[in-house]
Amino acid sequence: MAHAADKISIEDAQKELRELAVRIGEANAAYHTHDAPKISDAEYDALKRRHSELEAQFPELVSEDSPSQKVGAAPLPGFEKVRHQVPMLSLGNAFTEDDVRGFVQGVMKFLNLSESPEFVAEPKIDGLSLALRYENGELVYAATRGDGRTGENVTANARTINEIPKSLRGAPDILEVRGEVYMHQSDFLKLNDENKEKGAKVFANPRNAAAGALRQLDARITAERPLRFFAYSWGQVSEPLSGSQFGALERFQELGFVTNELTKLCQSVEDMLRVYDSITQKRVELGYDIDGVVYKVDPLALQDRLGFRSTTPRWAVAHKFPAETAWTRLEKIDIQVGRTGALSPVARLTPITVGGVVVSNATLHNKDYIEGRASDGSEIREGKDFREGDWVEVYRAGDVIPKLRDVDLSKRTSDAAPFEFPKACPICSSPALQEEGDSTIRCTGGFICDAQVIEKLKHFVARNAFDIEGLGAKQVEQFFNDGWVRTPVDVFKLGENYGAKAERPLERRDGWGPKSAENLFRAVEAKREIPFHRFLFALGIRHIGESAAKLLARNFVTWEALRETILSAQKRSGDAWETLLAVDGIGDRAAEALVESLEDPRSRAAIDELVGVLLVLPDEGIQNSGSPVAGKTVVFTGTLTKMTRAEAKAKAESLGAKVSGSVSAKTDYLVAGEAAGSKRTKAQSLNVTILSEDDWLSLIAT
């Protein structure tokens, strides 16, 4: 959960998200595909948590290939692939009691409940997820989770596990049981001892041993391993198992499956936290590994209403065990300048190991955070500031650059002076100013600040922008410092200016040769055609991340249409301004940034020159999914009585509609609840179709 004090500029967030995506991807492949994790569970959870915090703080940065949009990792090539009829999704995480309370409050708010529903609490087993499909009572296949949609067929191996029934009596005609394959710690130690004597592979932990056993191409090897199975969920079923999560688990027991005996039904969030504390105390004595407690809304009817996000259910969360911290010396505070001019302080630390990783740098967020203040002026860390030479507590909350949590004043030296945040940019000496309402201090140098220009160019060629192979951050800095690339359009002149026939050909430079230079020029030429949303994201406009770029591309279809609207919105009023704001997910800040991007003559000229050497491909726009509201723009106003606004919006979007926050001439439907006000009046003046809540429910039911 992001805190008020956790302020970070959008360009730094974008950079950190890219780095986090790489680390999470590598960790997923090591854990899910190769059963050989390279980092601890706590560190992995911290990476995921920080990634979620940043995406929650900057939703415009969420991309299709974000780790938050994926589950697990690609299946191994040695197994037949199985497509899950119902995706096997991961769970969102909670790390504190406040996170758990926030989860429960979020459920209540989404469903408009005045009292908490019942929840089921159960240990989160640290094993390998498995789906078992039964047809007419017979086990027909077993599949790993894989990437959440496609897994590996490990049926022969699963049949060797005693706790997995081969046939069922009294089960629905189609039943997919989901659970966790794991190994007892005593069995794991015995297996490793035997392997040591044989000179065979020694496993790092029981989870690795269980996963490796289940994914053997020879089922006879699996049969030799003491694997076990807990059932806790289900996928496709031909008839309901029960009306509740707890009832479904009881049904599993009747069918012959083992469920976890520590599973409890909870009446309140206090009950949930008591179960967490109880399981935490018993953790050492369980005999098998767990890494938290899972809470699930018990009534299945409420689970159905809550539905799913892209990769996680709204009705469940994993309350994870805490990560590690460590103390070390804060040697120096450096200032880095980002793409939009943000001055970001970074702590240089005496290297220390935290959660199995050596840490030497940590983010300090902004001036307020260093001084012990939140963005609203309230104290954090009891008002204690950070100073060079301090003894500080480091924790890994998922950052590639971790955070500082506290400072030990008893070890502060008498000559430790408060840190003075620069009033001028350390790169170009331009004034560094703080806008009202912005916690970040920014360099005002713009085009004269080399640091900003370099970071913009790095962003331009980044993976989720133009993604030019062979042109990374190192090459961008090299070409900039040599004067070869100063603006984005210069990238597309590299071959013309520095090809084999040029006066200063790239192939003669250190680190380059004829082949590598030609490969780069070819990669640049291949990117002269680019989808509209990637082009827009690559421009590096403040507040316009990947999600916002896709929303704008989907709504305006072509760059020319968006450009015309932006130029017509210079007065921040009128139809063009309202058209920008009508795109759901584009608020005042993003609209202002779009207008500013073309307001500056130099910026507009640079973008126009770039467009002149490219083919920006139109977006496909909203696709018709066959529902009566697919492609329609819908606005909700007033008080809805049969569902909350959030539930109504989620339902509309799932049917292919565009949900907007304001009424315009492009609005197709205004759904007016009780006490509808100015939006209804405006809709009437624009002849927009106005529906009651019942009319809306009837429409989407057809």
Catalytic residues: 124
Give SS3 for 253.
helix
The vertex-526 CA angle with 521 and 528, nearest 5°, equals 105
CB 445 within 8 A of CB 341: yes
Tokens coding 480: 């900039």
Q: How far apart are CA 163 and CA 250, in angstroms?
A: 16
Q: Is the dihedral of CA 371, 375, 378, 381 positive or negative?
A: negative
- The span from the CA of 14 to the CA of 279, in Å, is 38
Give the containing element (helix H, strand E) for 469. Answer: none
d(CA 460, CA 445): 19
Lookup result for tokens 């279809």:
557
DSSP state letters, 346-402: EEEEEEEEETTEEEEEEE--SHHHHHTB-TTS-BSGGGPPP-TT-EEEEE-SS-SS-
In three-state secondary structure terms, 335 is: strand
Q: How many helices (H) and strands (E) does the chain have?
A: 25, 24
> Which residue type sits at 71?
V
Residue located via tokens 């979020």 = 106
Q: Token pair of 126, please?
A: 């640290």
**Can you read off the two tokens belonging to residue 3?**
């805190």
Instruction: State the amino acid at position 306 in one-letter form.
Output: L
- Nearest 5°: the CA angle 405, 406, 408 is 155
Structure tokens at 429: 């000496």
Nearest one of 376, 260, 296 to 4, comparing CA atoms: 376
Report how far residue 513's alpha carbon sits from residue 509's, in angstroms, rounded to the nearest whole number: 7
Q: Are 467 and 527 in contact (CB under 8 A)?
A: yes
Write the DSSP string, 184-235: -HHHHHHHHHHHHHHT-PPPSSHHHHHHHHHT-SSHHHHHTS-EEEEEEEEE
